[in-house]
Each structure stands twice: as C-alpha cells, then as structure tokens.
Amino acid sequence: AQKITQTQPGMFVQEKEAVTLDCTYDTSDQSYGLFWYKQPSSGEMIFLIYQGSYDEQNATEGRYSLNFQKARKSANLVISASQLGDSAMYFCAMREGVISNFGNEKLTFGTGTRLTIIP
Amino acid sequence: DTGVSQDPRHKITKRGQNVTFRCDPISEHNRLYWYRQTLGQGPEFLTYFQNEAQLEKSRLLSDRFSAERPKGSFSTLEIQRTEQGDSAMYLCASSFRTSGTVNEQFFGPGTRLTVL
C-alpha cells in the first residue's frame, strides 16, 4: 500500500485564487510528521510547512496552511491567493516514528502534484 | 548563509562506467540523507548519515552503490558499473537534530545522472 497518496497529477488554477492540494497517508505509528515541499523546475526541494501528529492546531506559514484531518489520515495543503511563482511540483511527505537522537528521520514522498497558475 | 550544494549538477556517462557525486551539507548540520528521484516520482530514500556514521541503507541501494561521509562534513555517493536504470536525479539533504520536532530537511539542487 502506498504510504503517501497524492491523487491529483496536475492542477490549473487562476492567479489570486486559493488552491487545495490533496494528500492522504497510511501509517500505523502514533507519532509521525507530515511535510509539504515545493519543487520548481530548477529541481531543488523547498520546505513549505510541517504538521506533527500530536499538533492540535492546523499548521500555517504565510499563504500556506495545512488542513490536517487525523481520523481521515489526510493532510491537504491550502495555498491562498496563488501567484505565478507558485507554479511547481508539490510533494507531500511523511516521517514516521518517534524522534530520537540517532533515529533515521527519512521522508517518504508521494508522487506529487504539478500546479500551474494561469495569469 | 549557503545551502546544500551538490556537484556535478549534470552527469552523462556510458553504461558500465563508474560515477561519483559530492554533497556539501549546511555546515552545522549533523544529519545527511541521499535520495533518488526518477521521472514522475517523488524522491526515494537511499541512505542516511549521522555525522560520519552511515546508520541506514535502503534496499534500493544495491552493492554497486557506496556512500561515505568521512569527516562528518561532505558526502560522496559512488555508483559502480552504471546501468541505464540508474538514470535519475540524486538529491542530497541535510538537517540538524534539535529539541524540536520539525527538523526539516534542506535539499540540494540535485545531480541529474544520464546513463547511455
């Protein structure tokens, strides 16, 4: 079973509109973290936002917010007031397990959503 | 503040040749990761270092692959006897263990390998 599922291969959104990128995850761990990264055409992965499994509030970072629904195992990214520079691939990723001093905090990524902002 | 750097950015090689990539993490970061990203996919974990110790390797990392981080600073990833299936983007990421929970990974620009 896929650990991270992103069901939208591509999305087209009008500039200044809000957009929601879907992400569902699968884990049996109680402790985990969910990340969203942006990958422009240059290739570099840019960290956007993080949600811990025990966080009660939805994470927000500027125009980015994370709609975390734990029971549904979903962690959708919401981008408000989209801009042309938001056009990129967006990846949802999960880190499983309790954080420890020597633990491997490897990320498992979904297949991504290509977002295109239309002027 | 310099980010994670990788060299080379692009590498074209013939099947059967050996290649080596270098990653320079953010200077104070003690954790270093290698990922591989093929076309249309998200990055997949290859291996992880804490300082100079290689603590985990994915089963994706066949015995033709070897990674080192000799002084706990830069890291190298070598692929011996390259195959066409090795063509991919190789991403390096680093992070710093803190008392917080985020510990986000900072990624380099990647090395795109093409095996002919």
At residue A102, the pLDDT reads 64
Token pair for B112:
């795109």
Q: For residues A20 and A13, give the distance between their C-alpha atoms in angstroms, rounded to a whole number.
A: 10
Taking an 8 Å cut-off on Cβ atoms, the answer to whether A93 and B103 are in contact is no
Hey, of B21, B107, B111, B112, which one would you mutate to test binding to chain A, going by the most A CBs within 10 A of its CB? B107
Residues A80-84 have a mean pLDDT of 96
At residue A97, the pLDDT reads 76
In the numeric block, the tokens 């600073």 are attached to B73
Q: For residues A13 and A19, give the distance between their C-alpha atoms in angstroms, rounded to a whole number.
A: 7
Q: Output B103-107 pairs: Cβ under 8 A, ≥24 positions apart.
A: B103/A99, B103/A105, B103/B31, B104/A35, B104/A47, B104/A50, B105/A47, B105/A105, B105/A107, B105/B31, B105/B33, B106/A47, B106/B3, B106/B4, B106/B25, B106/B26, B106/B29, B107/A37, B107/A44, B107/A45, B107/A46, B107/B4
The chain A residue lying nearest B40, using CA atoms, is A111
How far off is chain B from A14, nearest CA to CA, in Å?
A: 24
pLDDT digits (tens, 9 = 90+) for B33-92: 999 999 989 999 999 999 999 988 998 888 999 999 998 899 999 999 999 999 999 999
The chain A residue lying nearest B50, using CA atoms, is A102
Query: How many CB pairs below 8 A link A and B?
Result: 60
Mean pLDDT (chain B) is 92
SS3 A24: strand
B1 has a pLDDT exceeding 60: no
